[in-house]
Structures are given as C-alpha cells and as structure tokens.
Amino acid sequence: MLVTIYTLVVRILLTGLCARAVPTPKDVLHNAQVFLEKYGYIDRDKKESNLGELEASISHFQWLSHLPVSGELDTRTLLQMNEPRCGMKDVSQPRWTEQHSAISNQRRRKRYALKNKWYKRHLTYQIVNWPWYLSQHQVRQAVKAAFELWGNVSSMTFSESSSAAADIRLAFFYGDHNDGATNAFDGPGGALAHAFFPRRGEAHFDNAEHWSLNGRGRNLFVVLAHEIGHTLGLQHSPFKNALMSPYYKKLGKDYLLNFDDILAIQNLYGAPPSGKLFQLPGKKFAYFLDWNSENGKGSESDTTKESPSYCRSVFDAITWDMQNILYIFKGRHFWTVTPSGNVSEPHLLQSRWKKLPVYIEAAAVSASTGKFYFFKGAKCWRYKESQLEAGFPRKCSSKGFPRHPDTAFYFHPLGHLVVFKRTKYYVINENSLTVEPYYPRSLKDWKGIPLETTGVLTHPDGSIYFFKGEKYWMFNQDKLRVTASGKWAEDLSWIGCKNN
Ligand SMILES: [Zn+2]
Ligand SMILES: [Zn+2]
C-alpha cells in the first residue's frame, strides 16, 4: 500500500499538479494524513501508520466526496482535499469498513446524534463582531436571513440579542482563537468556518477570508446558513447539493436547502406549526442592503443610525480644503465633514466637479491657491471651486508625474504638492506642473510610513496623517517620524465615523 501511495504521489508530481509548491511525496502523504485526521476519517488514537487503516480512511473520504473509491491518493482526491470547506468533521464515527455493509442505515443514523439538540423552540443569537469592511446593517440582515432559512422549514424561531447570554454567538477570528489547535484558522481558503453542536452555541468564521454580501468574493450568507445548521445540531450531509455538504458552494439561483437539509432539521425539531414550508430561491439572498423575507423590499427597522459607508471600507482619497472641510472620496461619491463634525450625505462626484471620472486615485487641495487637484492613471485635473481649469485634464505623466499615484497632499514646509507612488515621492511645482529638481526621492524620508497608502492629509493642527486599509499613521513634522497609529474609523473623531 505504501508503495502504491508513493508511486501515485510521484506521478502527480511529475504531471505538474503540485508544480507551485513542489512538496515531496512525503509532504503530500503527511498533509493528506493531517486532513483525514482533522475531518474525522482517521481515528487519532489508532493512527500509528497502519496502512490498512489509511487506505480505509481514503476510501471513506472518496465515498463521501462522490469520487471513485480507490483507497489511493490520486489527483482528484488530492484536489478535493484542497477545496475551501467547513472546518467541522465529516465523520464522527463509525468506520467506513463497518459502514460499507450498511451504508444507507448508517448514513441517516449518524446525521444527528440524539442528544445534540436544543430543548426549546425559541433561540436568541448574538453577533459578536464582523469584518470591518462589511456594514453592520448588511451583516445583521444576512444573519437574520440565515436563521430564518432554518426557521421557515422547522418549528424553531430566532431573534437577535445584544447580550452575551444569547443561546448562539457568532464571531470572527484570526488563526488560533483558543478552541484547540485543530480549530485554529488557516488563512484564506481551506477551512472557512466551524461551529459547535448544541448546546454550546458558538459559530466561528475565519477573519482572513475576504467575506462578501454582494455576490463577489466568499459569500458570507451561505457559510452563515451552513454553520448555523451545525449550531442547531446538524452534521455534514453526504448530498452534494445540500447546504450541509461540507464544501463551500457559491450562492446559486435555486433553493438553498435540499430535502436532506429539511429532513435533518425536522427530525430534530419537527415541521413548522403551519405545516407549510417556506423557501426562498438563492437569488433573493444575493444582496443584503434592504433584505426582507416577505417581499424582498426594504424594511428599515433599525433604530441605531449607521455611520457613513466610507467608514467601513477603503476610500480612494481624502483631503482638507482651506475652510477646514474634510473631503472623503470613494467610487462615485464624496462626503464632507465640517470642523464641528457634521457628516454630509454621499454626493455624486460629478455634481460638484463636472467631467471628473469616478474612482479617482488621489486628491489634494493646494494651501497656496485653494485649488482641487485630482489624479487618476496618467492624467490630472485641476478645479477652481467647481470649475475645471483650461488645459485640464492633462497628461501629467508626460511631465514626470507617476502614473496611478497612491496619494497626494499639500506639504506646508515645502510649499508644494507632494505625490506618493510606492517607494518614491515627488514634489510638484504648481505653476509649471513639473516635478521639482532632485525628485523623486525615497519614501524612507517618511520614517514609518508603509508602501501604497490610500490617503494623506495635513490636519489643521499641523500633523500629517497617512491612511491605508483600516489603519492610519500620524507623522510628526518636528520629529520626522511616525508618532502614533491606530484605526482611523475608531480613533480619529474628526473623520466622522463615531456618534452620528
Ligand atoms: Zn460544516
Ligand atoms: Zn473556533
């Protein structure tokens, strides 16, 4: 058996499947063993490299994954092991060899161990945290919809609670998060989430995934609904199109729950009191801005007012004008924040600056002329108030400006605009629109500033703030280095994300 695995693995290496990482056959075998153990195919106590045992585990995995059962680590088996999936075990026991004789009986029996259920019909849940780039409103809507999915086909009902005493808590974690080394998250891909059977009431999601609720990236709603299934007592389903199948599925157009999911939940909690099943097609769950199960239209029942949407994502550019009004640019919109902290509604860029493209890359206001500069690609735009100046947009890159600049701002000590691009910064002469002599220079002059920032500005108090992702760095002009850093949405009150 060992020989078979080795030859197979060698063959796989030669065919180039693993060309990227070039693992040795030993690594491949080891990784497969770790996988089979993590997902319950190998009994940890019995694993002393018993090859019969290993072959049986591989067979079991192949059978549950709808692959040809060969007991060997062939290409398809190894590929299947690399698919993104739920971190919960596929098998609690019994062994495949025993099961093989009575597959149909075993399959149904092992789906729901009798004690793994709740003994009440109404459960509360708490959303402990969520990815910073998703809106709280959308996450709440998605979680609500995910619980309703199960409530609509069973006798269970659910409601959100802000208390940590809720029956079920949903939380996002990075890496090891204190529930055992085998539950440590593994970065993007691999295990996406896991949960605990009743009545522990916990579902954990890998914060390293790029979760999304708008149809792109890793669909959080599908994974929420799956993990909630576990918290209610459901194990993995051997049916490929079941929501409780262990592998990540994209959100399809069809119903999310298949008959196996519905049988499993009703086996634990019975049918809805009405006797009727209420199912919604997957396409209803593609967007969560205004999710409502009855009609799919908006129902704004939230009492807490949301902070503006730039607060939860990466903005394109940020600048302060001569009246100390802060401007934040993102996509097609911009927001203003007054010195007293009043945040505007989102306005369309073109409503103020005609002919300006959307998704600009950098913006700055000159403190000597009050003019607005915008940069995107090879071009730049200059406006006096709302008026595009003659000769703009122009191809600034032909005068030595960097293409696709990271950020720009007006630097008072030099009395010039400064444009940043990766490892360099450029000082710009506003009259000639050329790069000043001896520039560009190295970003190292800005000690402590990371590469590729998304925004930079001078605060009216004189300190310079750089932004990237959810973080900011405050550059002290006297000490010529970073003297503070943190999360801008939380720490900088003047940015308008708090208490509004
Ligand atoms: Zn699962
Ligand atoms: Zn966990």
Identify the domain containing residue 378 by its residue range: 309-495
Residue 236 Cα to ligand 1 midpoint, Å, equals: 6
Element (H, E) at 228: helix 220-231
Beta strands 347-348 and 333-337: pairing type? antiparallel
363 appears as a binding residue in the annotation? yes
Token duo for residue 412: 């008072």
pLDDT in the model for residue 358: 86
Is residue 47 helix, strand or coil? coil
Element (H, E) at 193: strand 191-195
Chain segment 184-220, per-residue pLDDT in tens: 999 989 999 999 999 999 999 999 998 998 767 799 9
Residues 218 and 344 in one domain: no
Q: Rounded to the nearest 5 degrees, what angle is found at the Cα of 150, between the Cα atoms of 118 and 182?
A: 65
Residue 32 Cα to ligand 2 midpoint, Å, equals: 22
Residues 364 and 469 in one domain: yes
Chain segment 55-82, per-residue pLDDT in tens: 999 999 998 888 999 999 999 999 999 9
- Lowest mean per-residue pLDDT among 61-75, 227-241, 243-257, 287-301: 287-301
Categorize the per-residue pLDDT at 244 as very low, low, confident or very high, splitting at 50, 70 and 90: very high
- Please report, rounded to a whole number, the percentage of residues in the chain having pLDDT higher than 70: 85
Residues 379 and 466 in one domain: yes
Residues 278 and 313 in one domain: no
Token duo for residue 245: 């199948």
Cα–Cα dist 289/473, whole Å: 32
Residues 205 and 345 in one domain: no
Quickly count: other Cβ atoms within 10 Å of residue 361's Cβ.
Answer: 21
Asked if residue 300 is part of any domain, the answer here is: no
Ligand nearest to the Cα of 236, by number: 1
Residue 295 Cα to ligand 1 midpoint, Å, equals: 30
Chain segment 313-361, per-residue pLDDT in tens: 778 899 999 888 999 998 888 999 988 888 888 888 988 999 999 889 9
Residues 363 and 481 in one domain: yes
Residue 113 has pLDDT above 90, yes or no: no
Indicate which residue of 55, 148, 227, 361 is catalytic. 227
Total domain count for the chain? 3
Asked if residue 20 is part of any domain, the answer here is: yes
Active site residue 227: yes
Residue 86 Cα to ligand 1 midpoint, Å, equals: 4
Any idea what the CATH number is for the domain that residue 474 is in? 2.110.10.10
Cα–Cα dist 424/445, whole Å: 9
Asked if residue 267 is part of any domain, the answer here is: yes
Element (H, E) at 14: helix 2-15
Cα–Cα dist 92/63, whole Å: 15
Ligand nearest to the Cα of 86, by number: 1
Token duo for residue 8: 């197979």
Residues 271 and 315 in one domain: no
This prediction has a pTM of 0.57
Ligand nearest to the Cα of 200, by number: 2
Asked if residue 161 is part of any domain, the answer here is: yes
Residues 27 and 148 in one domain: no
